[in-house]
Structure 1
C-alpha cells in the first residue's frame, strides 16, 4: 500500500488525500444560532459548546484533508452549518471508518458523518438524518470497456466496509461463482483515494465507489480515469445518530432550517453537487415526526 500511495502522489495529487483546499470561490456558510432550534439540544452538549463528528478522510468531496491537514469537505461544511443553527461549534474527529458507528453507540462521538449510506441494516441501531441521494458508480482506465454488470474475472478496487464492497462488488463476485464463472477479485483499501489510485496504476481493472466520490476522482485524475456504466443502487446518505436521540432530532430540525433558508443548496453547490438534493429534511427517509413521537417511540 505504501508504494501505491507514493506513486500516486507522483502521478497526481488529484486522486489522493493531498488537496490544495476548498474549491475556487468557496466561502464559509455558517448561519447564526436559531434559539427555538438550539433549545432542542441536550443540556450537556449545549454546555460543552461543540459537536464531535466522526469521519474518515479521504472521501472527497465529502471529507478530506487540505494541504494544512485540516479536515474539509461538503459533508463537513453542511454539518458545520447545522451546528451553527444549534449554537454549537463542529469538531471533526478522524476515525477508522469501521469504528465510527461503534463510537457513536458508545457516546465517545456525538454522531458520524463519513459518506454513510442509509441502509435498513444500519437503521436497526442508528437513525440517519438524510441529506442527499446518490448511488454507486464505477470507473475504468480510458479506452477500456468494462461493464459493472459483467465483471466476472476482473479486479475491482473499493474502500473497505463501504457499500461498494458489501452491497456491490462482493455480491456480484458471489453471483459469478454461482454461475460457474471466475469470481471478481475484490481489492479492499482503507481509503477511497488509495482504491482510486490502484486503478490509475493498473493494479485494478475498475474502481467502485459512491457516485460523488467516483465523479470527484475522475474529474481530478488528469484523464487517467473515466466513468463506465450508469449510476445504480441509488440510496440516501445520512449523518448517523443514536436512535431516537434528542440530539438527532435537533440536528434534523437544523437541517430543515438550512433547506428552507437556501443555505443547504448553497453549501452543496460550492462542491458542484446539484443533483439528489432533498426538499425537506428526512430521518431514515421519512419526514421529521413530532418530537413526542420521535423521542418516545
Structure 2
C-alpha cells in the first residue's frame, strides 16, 4: 500500500460495506486474526530450486505466516465470513507460496505493527501493499511486485482540487505516505495565508472511505487501486478526483537478513509472470494497470 513506515476495523454503513464484504474466493490460505486452521495443500507443483532457498524453519513447517492489514480492498480485506482475508495481494502471494512449496497463514494486524512484527519473528513476511521507500529498506528486505500511486476521491459532483484543498476536511489512513502528503499540502496552505486542511486520521482505510460517503469529510486520498475500487463499490456516491501521482512499487517485507529468501520470492514472481498467472490474478481484481515485468529484491526506494 502506498503507506509509510511504522498500511484498519469498524462496522461499515452505506454502500461502502460492499467494498469490505464482497464475496470473493481466495486460494490456498489459512486465515484468522491470530491463528487459523490448516490451509489446503498447494495445487501447483513447487519449483525445487526456489524451494531450497526457503529458510529452514519455514520449510520444515511447510507454511508461511503473513501479517496483513485486512481493511484495504481490493488489496487485502475480509470476506463475508468476517475472518477470511481475500484480495489481489492474497491471490498473488498464495500463488508465490505454491511455487515455494508452502501453504499460507494470513493474520490480520494493524498496518503499522506489521514491519515490527516481521522483525521480531511474529510474522515470516508482511504482505500489505507496502510502498517501497528508503526508510523501509533500512529495516527490511523488500521484493517489488506491483506499482501504485496516490489518488483522491470525493462525493460525486464535489468541486475539490487536490492541489488546493485549503479549508477542506480530508480523510486519510494513519501511517501512510498519504498522511505525509496531506500534511505537506496543509502546510503549503498556511504558508500561503490560506486556511489549513483539517486532517482526519483513521486506523482503517475503510473508515476513511466511509467518512467521505457519510459526509463527515469532504475528500480522501489513498493508493490508486484502493480509491478506484472504493468508488466502484459505492455505486456512484464517490468519484475520483485529479490524476494519479507519485507512483512507486509495492513490496513484500522480509527480515533484513533474508535476501536469499527474497531471491526465491522474486524467482516465483518471475515464473508467475512468465506463465500468465500474474496477469490473470491482477485482471480478476481489475488492477492490471499496476502490473510490473521486473520484480526486484531491494529496489531503489
TM-score by length of 1: 0.88
Partner of 1:229: 242
Question: How far apart are 1:274 and its partner, in Å?
Answer: 1.5
| Partner secondary structure for residue 133 of structure 1 | strand
Question: How far apart are 1:133 and its partner, in Å?
Answer: 1.0
Partner of 1:13: 17
Higher alpha-carbon deviation: 211-220 or 143-152: 143-152
Taking the aligned partners of 1:182 and 1:247, their CA distance within structure 2 comes to 49
Partner of 1:120: 134
| Post-superposition CA distance 1:24-57 (Å, at most 9, x none) | xx87795321111111111111001111110011
Partner of 2:104: 90
Change (3 A) 1:65 1:42: same
Which sections of structure 1, spanning at least 5 residues, go unmatched? 287-297
Partner of 1:161: 175
Partner of 1:100: 114
| Partner secondary structure for residue 261 of structure 2 | helix
Partner of 1:255: 269
Taking the aligned partners of 2:77 and 2:68, their CA distance within structure 1 comes to 9
In the alignment, which of 156, 163, 168 is matched to residue 149 of structure 1?
163
Question: How far apart are 1:11 and its partner, in Å?
Answer: 4.4
Which sections of structure 2, spanning at least 5 residues, go unmatched? 1-8, 29-41
| Partner secondary structure for residue 288 of structure 2 | coil
Report whether the alignment pairs 1:37 with 2:61.
no
Q: Does the 8 Å CA contact 1:63/1:74 hold for their aligned counterparts?
A: yes
Question: How far apart are 1:179 and its partner, in Å?
Answer: 1.9
Aligned counterparts, 1:1-297, within 5 A: 6=11, 8-15=12-19, 17-22=20-25, 31-68=44-81, 69-166=83-180, 168-245=181-258, 246-285=260-299
Question: How far apart are 1:284 and its partner, in Å?
Answer: 2.8
| Post-superposition CA distance 1:87-132 (Å, at most 9, x none) | 0001111111110000111111111111111111211111221111
Q: Does the 8 Å CA contact 1:14/1:217 hold for their aligned counterparts?
A: no
TM-score by length of 2: 0.87
Question: How far apart are 1:163 and its partner, in Å?
Answer: 1.5
Higher alpha-carbon deviation: 249-258 or 101-110: 249-258
Q: Does the 8 Å CA contact 1:259/1:281 hold for their aligned counterparts?
A: no
Taking the aligned partners of 1:27 and 1:163, their CA distance within structure 2 comes to 30
Taking the aligned partners of 2:117 and 2:55, their CA distance within structure 1 comes to 19
